[in-house]
Chains A and B, each alone.
Chain A
Amino acid sequence: MILNAQTLPANGNINPYAFCIDVTGEMLIRKGKMIAYYGALRFEALGAGPFEVLVNEVLNSPLHARNFVVVTGRGKLILGDRGHNLASYDLEDGSLVVRSENVLGFQPTLACRESIIPGYLTLLGTGSFVASSNGPVHFLEPPVKVDEDALLGWADMPSPSYRYDYNYVRGALRTVGALVKGWGTGEEKQLDFSGNGTVLIQASERGVQR
């Protein structure tokens, strides 16, 4: 089947790996994730002239602002990310902490802030965003312990803490050598979530090369 500007979904998946956004106003997208578009769209740097307001209100973080560009105009914009699964998520007056590299685009009605956890950003407010995951996203309820690499984010709950296996801690206390990499199973450190909320994970250990 051949798609065109009319038959492309408006804010929906083309297939599990490609997502089409119907751009009518402003939209923030991650640099380099545009794979194609129809229509008159412009891609502008944040902080390049007319977007001072966005910098102040929406993307108040020099770290993340560098990774996003503003799309303006009218048209159909297609996003893709390394063949990962893409989906759109709605936030209603919510607070979501999500792995920064997996956020591909969001509406400027959401506010993006730098999370205190490195590599993560916080989305606040009401609006929708597009995110990628290796395989479909799986939702978990706390209490749960999660591998750091499989973690995508968490919503409406306190930040996690690290938890180490008992044997690992004991070994680390005993000898300095225990801290050398390659020791143990590689599974002795997890993120421990407690309280109310939702934890989002993906079927991947990040950094595993094909």
Chain B
Amino acid sequence: MPQYSLINSKMLSIKLHGEEVYAKRGSMIAYTGQVDFAPSSSGSEGLGGRAMRSVTGEQMSLMSARGTGEVLYAFYGLHVTLIQLSEETFFAESESLLAYDGRLRSGTQFMGSGGMQGMLRGAATGSGLFTTTLEGAGELAIVSDGDSFALDVTHERPIFVDPQAYIGHRGQLQSNIVTDVGWKSFVGQSSGESYQLKFTGLGTVYIQAAERGGNR
């Protein structure tokens, strides 16, 4: 079992004993031991998942590391958060995903409602409306601009999130794309703020204090 630990708030260490770890391409900063790196476009998912990705634009640019040793990962000085899964599904924005391993199965899922039309809109804008899913038991690491933090969602208390600040979520949550008419009519055109993600149900949402697609 690969062992995940944080060296500091921006540096991740994974100890390998022959397993395979998938991580953001270019995020390896050092390693010891005998480790081989290879590009991987889809991590631990099948051919269907790969086709889904190319259609939806929820691209993951991954590399796999296999071998024995310790690998250090960091990405542009972004903060790293470790998340522990116990036989559940984590929904992650693919850009925020730093590393996971073969214990988790990955896939793609649409976040909004609105049927085919909503889906096409999401695919066209490519702004966090599709997410990567990771299912199983094990650890994963996410990166965030500034500390990420977790927000609780209950049946009485839904939450509204800027899609560009969204990192991921877990639990029994339904997500909807909400358009605020007042907001949209004014902000509309290109700022990408005219829709928000509304989460209802029971679970946890992770966000970062920055909007993706700004200066990176």
* B154 interfacial by beta-carbon distance below 8 Å: yes
Knowing A4-B157, A38-B157, the reply to whether A69 touches B187 (Cβ < 8 A) is yes
Which residue of A1, A38, A69, A81 contacts B183 across the interface (Cβ within 8 Å)? A69
Knowing A3-B149, A17-B146, A82-B215, the reply to whether A44 touches B210 (Cβ < 8 A) is no
9-residue interface stretch from B24-32, B129-137, B200-208: B200-208
* B88 interfacial by beta-carbon distance below 8 Å: no
Contacting B at CB under 8 A, from A75-90, are 78, 80-83, 86
* B209 interfacial by beta-carbon distance below 8 Å: yes
In the assembled complex, the Cα of A85 lies from the Cα of B19 at a distance in Å of: 39
Flag B134-151 by CB within 8 Å of A: 1 or 0 each. 000000000001110111
Knowing A18-B149, A83-B208, the reply to whether A44 touches B157 (Cβ < 8 A) is no
* A116 interfacial by beta-carbon distance below 8 Å: no
B153 CB, nearest partner CB in chain A, Å: 8
B183 CB, nearest partner CB in chain A, Å: 4
The residue of chain A having its C-beta at the shortest distance from the C-beta of B191 within the complex is A32
> What count of chain B residues pass the 8 Å CB interface test?
36
Which residues from A are CB-within-8-Å of B173? Answer: none
In the assembled complex, the Cα of A210 lies from the Cα of B216 at a distance in Å of: 7
Asked whether, in the complex, the Cβ of A36 is within 8 Å of the Cβ of B165, the reply is yes
B166 CB, nearest partner CB in chain A, Å: 8
Knowing A4-B152, A42-B180, the reply to whether A34 touches B162 (Cβ < 8 A) is yes
Per DSSP, chain A at the interface is strand
Which residues from A are CB-within-8-Å of B95? Answer: none
Contacting B at CB under 8 A, from A58-101, are 69, 78, 80-83, 86
Which residues from A are CB-within-8-Å of B187? Answer: 31-32, 45, 69
Contacting B at CB under 8 A, from A27-56, are 31-32, 34-38, 41-46, 48
A40 CB, nearest partner CB in chain B, Å: 10
* B160 interfacial by beta-carbon distance below 8 Å: yes
Per DSSP, chain B at the interface is loop
Flag B168-194 by CB within 8 Å of A: 1 or 0 each. 000000000000101101110001110
In the assembled complex, the Cα of A86 lies from the Cα of B209 at a distance in Å of: 10
In the assembled complex, the Cα of A116 lies from the Cα of B162 at a distance in Å of: 33
Which residue of A35, A42, A43, A44 contacts B209 across the interface (Cβ within 8 Å)? A35
The residue of chain B having its C-beta at the shortest distance from the C-beta of A3 within the complex is B151
Which residue of B76, B160, B161, B210 contacts A82 across the interface (Cβ within 8 Å)? B210
* A5 interfacial by beta-carbon distance below 8 Å: yes
Knowing A15-B149, A16-B147, A43-B183, the reply to whether A38 touches B209 (Cβ < 8 A) is no
A–B pairs, 26, beta carbons within 8 Å? A1-B150, A2-B204, A3-B150, A3-B151, A4-B152, A4-B154, A17-B147, A18-B147, A18-B149, A31-B191, A31-B193, A32-B192, A36-B207, A37-B159, A38-B157, A38-B159, A45-B186, A69-B187, A78-B207, A80-B165, A80-B208, A80-B210, A82-B211, A83-B146, A83-B209, A86-B209
A residues adjacent to B (C-beta < 8 A): 1-5, 8, 14-18, 31-32, 34-38, 41-46, 48, 69, 78, 80-83, 86, 209-210
B residues adjacent to A (C-beta < 8 A): 76-77, 145-147, 149-152, 154, 157-162, 165, 180, 182-183, 185-187, 191-193, 204-205, 207-211, 214-216
